[in-house]
Amino acid sequence: METQSLQDFQDLCNFESFKSFWHYYGYGVDQQELIDREFKRIKGVTYLDHAGTTLFPESQIKGFYDDISRNVYGNPHSHNPSSRLTHDTVESVRYRILEHFNTCPEEYSVIFTSGCTAALKLVADTFPWKAASNEGPGSQFCYLTDNHTSVVGIRSVTSLQGVGRVSVLPHEVETRAKKPPTQTNGEEECSVPHLFCYPAQSNFSGRKYPLSYVKGIQSQQLYPACEHRGRWFVLLDAACFVSCSPLDLSQYPADFVPISFYKMFGFPTGLGALLVKNEAAEILRKTYFGGGTAAAYLVAENFFVPKPNVVSRFEDGTVSFLDIISLHHGFETLRKLTGSMLNIQLHTFGLARYTYIVLSCLCHDNGKPVAQIHCDNDFHNIAEQGAILNFSLLDCHGQTVGYSQVDKMASLFNIHIRTGCFCNTGACQHYLAISNQNVKSNLHAGHICGDNIDLIEGRPTGSIRVSFGYMSSFEDCQNFLRFVVNCFVHKPLILDQERLTKLKSAKPMESVESYDVPSIPNGHLGHENGHVNIPSPERITPSENTVSEEGKNNGSRHTLTNLFIYPVKSCGSFEVTEWPLGPQGLLYDRLWMVVNENGVCLSQKREPKLCLIHPVICLASNTLQLQVSGMEAVTVPLETSLANSDLRTSQSKVCGDRVQTVDCGEEVSAWLSEFLGKPCRLIRQRPEFLRDMKFGRGKAGDCGPTALSLVNEAQFLLINRASVSFLQEHIASRHDSENEGTWHDMEQLIQRFRANLVISGQEAFAEDDWSHLTVGDTQFQVIGRCGRCQVIGIDQKSATRTQEPLRSLSECRSGKVTFGVYLAHQSARNTTAVPVLSVGACVIPQISESTDKP
């Protein structure tokens, strides 16, 4: 009998046996290979405290180290280049966080805090609690008894303000639900704010509470919201849940979602966030104000106006920006190693389920169970249970073995577990049958939270918890179960075969529909008229230009002399003789851009070498080719289907605007990284994403709403050759002009201004006074002047920086640094025809009634 039971146990500890319980394991590569590559430091360690903190992989730290080694990150409250890089990178991380939880900046804001507890305290301190009075009822602070200490601690804030408090047993949310109170005729609508807090997953037992509670409470369909009129808000404590499970806030829009990032990535510690629904953020009332939160204030008067942005109002002082930047590497490494949170959920739940089944079937020689499992289910449904197993070990007489004894013994075997009450007194009392009086008497006996007093008068004061992470392996389960059998089973071991058969025969519910992040709808990147039925324009040389040099400088009439598109933002131009217009400007103009490893746009200000990359578009073959001298060209398709699962979608920022993009793949990323000498990627604007022009918003007159690509300000930029000639003469008149020889080349000077349309003209800067113009048969509206920056000081042929022509432009224009005008195509969004611009077309301007243009 002893030999048979031991053999049965050994068979259970076989990987093939595990696979019979659960089909999902690993991430397409050998799990041990992943551990050997990324987690060498845990060799010989069985780490089972992932609910306390998970472990960071080596590549995540290396990626972060390489990032901060090659980039200069300044204080984001400044405006110098290093500070702007920090600001843009931090904003990119905010987008990445929202994307991870399947929501967007229009719905949620990410407020960085020092951790989940700080995020909870922020809500406690700023929620508009209302005390009960003769005028009406007050706010209610309600929370599940199965909540972390940091949630329950909110009551210390509310009790001082006369706010009602309701602790809710888990089963009461549904069993006490009833029809919400109705509003009688003539009765004013009650707007008293109430807050209900519950965990998406218990940090004690791993029990997952229905995410549907979010809408159920908000709509006052569930208890306790159904008993109190007013406006109900939901705080969903997701710190434990999101470490191994996907959370979709578009489906379950909790008002406040606190998280800690070390639970997800292992690094950095001391950084968390409050994801706050923008509608809910409007009700929060903050009193203290710190650096960076003020729009204006006075020292001598009690005058203070906060910044309008939600994030700016609540992030006092300088955020921990390097830690925030490291989050990008956490997300990226997690994606590369596991593929998705769904994969992590399936992997970790399988390990927890297997451990539960085996542990719950272990018996002493007298048939008494070895363990008492503290849970509310049989680990049958992945939507109800996380990757946590909480239990107490029992001796052969049915008495509890003190958790401190188990912890010390586990340490001898290098097995890392967690013991105690896990900062969740409510759950601990429930599962261990500890009464309120027991808690008080235990305190009187000298027991406090976190100490090693595990038994008082034979009653346990806490329990044992093992928890799994994405790098956990079947060997971890083996080591733990063998440890229990070797150290705590009164031999000979007996397996509860009846229970084992029952649990093995129960088909687990693997569906996680309520947690799935919806896949991005299939789409086709690019304009629907991407394959325009016109001759394919080719890159031209001066000899191919249909306008003669005499025509270019003929002041008797305006003529379109050059036509440039810039397919990749900040890269070189692609000159054509004719080109179709799309809904966002010239077709394919600035639809792509290069971003660094953190998803921040690279411009020539940060990387002048971008101008040496020459894009070539071929409409006939539907390709974009990038060329650089000395390297083999790389090609990407103009139209890329999002159905390609290898492509990643993301969000980035252009001139303060959020843009939705799709990644163009590894080949072009490697090509760009090799040329620029730093990790970077090529991304493309998503076709369904509409970005409205903000330049001159409200002043565009008959232009109406205008869609933009990845341009800075407007669809088109026009410059006048007469203006270029005037500036060229001014530069030549300076005896100290640097690189003097280059200014004699009109075409090189034109390239510096990166215009789409270049026209001939008689009078310098006459374009400043135009309100409209017609090019051939196509009408445009002039919407403003183009303010210039140091980019025009970059020689587009050599990528070297110079002070000219910015210095001379400022001098000859009396301090103004505008050059060229922005245009909008009046029917770009709604036209059914496809307008085509051609070099040599006549340009007819209309003078503005007022020359006082912006």
For residues 215 and 217, give the distance between their C-alpha atoms in angstroms, rounded to a whole number. Answer: 5
Grouping H, G, I as helix, E, B as strand and the rest as coil, residue 578 is: strand
Helix (H) or strand (E) holding 142: strand 140-144
Beta bridge partners of 588: none
Token output for 787: 């303010």
| Residue written as token pair 């097995």 | 415
CB count within 10 Å of CB 303 equals 9
Give Rg (Cα) of the chain: 33
Residue 25 in contact with residue 18, Cβ under 8 Å?
A: yes
Alpha carbons within 13 angstroms on the beta-carbon side of residue 523 total 16
Tokens of 667: 């080949």
Dist CA 796 CA 609 (whole Å): 9
8 Å CB contact between 627 and 619: no
Q: Count CA atoms closer than 13 A to 853's CA, side-chain side.
A: 27
> What CA–CA distance (Å, rounded) separates 495 from 487?
16
Q: Are 571 and 610 in contact (CB under 8 A)?
A: yes
Task: Say whether 201 sits in a helix, a strand or coil.
Answer: strand
Residues 803, 738 contacting (CB under 8 angstroms): yes
Which class for 298: exposed (0-12), middle (13-18), buried (19 or more C-beta within 10 A)?
Answer: exposed
Query: What token pair was written down for 561?
Result: 């002399």
Q: Give the CA diameter of the chain.
A: 109
The torsion angles phi and psi of 649, rounded to 5 degrees, stand at: -95, 155
Count of Cβ atoms closer than 10 Å to residue 100 Cβ: 19
3-state secondary structure of 581: strand
Whole-angstrom distance, CA of residue 845 vs CA of residue 773: 4
Q: What are phi and psi of 465, to 5 degrees?
A: -130, 130
For the purposes of burial, counting CB atoms within 10 Å of the CB of 512, is it exposed (0-12), middle (13-18) or buried (19 or more)? middle
Closest to 781 (Cα-Cα) out of 837, 822, 753: 822
| Cα gap 651→99, rounded to integer Å | 8
- Please check whether residue 760 is in contact with residue 559, taking contact to mean a CB–CB distance below 8 angstroms: yes
Q: How far apart, in Å, are the Cα atoms of 824 and each of 577, 584, 706, 783, 845? A: 20, 9, 7, 7, 14
Angle in degrees, 0-180, between the axes of helices 341-361 and 497-505, rounded to the nearest 10: 160
CB 504 within 8 A of CB 20: yes
* End-to-end CA gap in the chain: 93
For residue 637, list its beta bridge partners: 623
Residue type, 736: D
Catalytic residue among 423, 428, 680, 786: 423
Beta strand pairing call for 680-685 and 592-596: antiparallel
- 761, two tokens: 């003209």
Query: Which of 432, 434, 330, 341 lies closest to 386 in space, CA to CA?
Result: 341
Q: How many helices (H) and strands (E) does the chain have?
A: 25, 38
Per the annotation, the verdict on 423 as an active-site residue is yes
Q: Which residues are catalytic?
A: 423
